[in-house]
Amino acid sequence: MLEAATTIDYAADMRWKQVEATMRRNGYQPDALIETLHTVQELFGYIDENALRFITSKLPISPSKALGVVTFYHYFQMKPAGKHTISMCTGTACHIKGGEAILEEICERYNLHPGETTPDGKVSLLTVRCIGACGLAPAAVFDGEVVGNLSVEKVREQFDKWMAEEDDEETE
Ligand code: FES
């Protein structure tokens, strides 16, 4: 059974539009499930009950069936790998405005590749194609919050702040 999902505003996070685009491209057929789950994992780093609710509200698949698929494949994760997540946009506008150079520097500094988590489990680094904030390029999503006009310093500041958190420290 799925736990009660917290209410989230799907319209406020452009990544859900990309998830919906995957389903649309597949004609909202049940066969779209695997590809849609891949899209969610790529964009968010994991698939939680909110994602399953979103998907099963659009595809003719029951939540329990979708959950069965997620738990069957080891590739899919139901929890974020890291306590915090930085998703760097690699879409065209962000690329042109220097997003790739920022990503490279961050990868080098923290010895991470996109998709990986710091050894202490504090921060996961992901990439997304476009988060719909092209006017703010280069942009990223820090724990669900879109941050624009990025610089290496801005990303490092956030990264270092999270890395310095005590394990039991409350997060905002
Ligand atoms: S390309 Fe980065 S937000 Fe659109």
User: Best mutation site among 131, 147, 149 for ligand 1, i.e. most ligand atoms within 8 A of its Cβ?
Assistant: 131
Range of the domain at 43: 10-72
**18 Rama sector, left if φ>0, alpha if ψ -120 to 50, beta otherwise:** alpha
Question: What residue ranges line ligand 1, CB within 6 angstroms?
Answer: 89, 91-94, 130-134, 137, 139
Same domain, 68 and 92: no
Residue 104 CB burial class (10 angstroms; 0-12, 13-18, ≥19): exposed
- Is residue 119, in this structure, part of any structural domain at all? yes
User: Best mutation site among 43, 134, 145, 149 for ligand 1, i.e. most ligand atoms within 8 A of its Cβ?
Assistant: 134
Same domain, 47 and 89: no
How many whole angstroms separate alpha carbon 43 and alpha carbon 88?
10
**pLDDT tens-digit profile, the chain (172 residues):** 444 455 678 887 888 998 999 999 999 999 999 999 999 988 888 898 899 999 999 999 998 899 999 989 888 888 778 889 898 998 899 999 999 999 999 999 999 998 888 999 999 998 887 878 899 999 998 987 889 999 999 999 999 999 998 876 544 4
CB contact set of 39 (below 8 Å; sequence gap of 6+) = 18, 19, 22
pTM for this prediction: 0.68
Which residue owns the Cα nearest ligand 1 atom 1?
91
Q: What 3-state DSSP class applies to 125?
A: strand
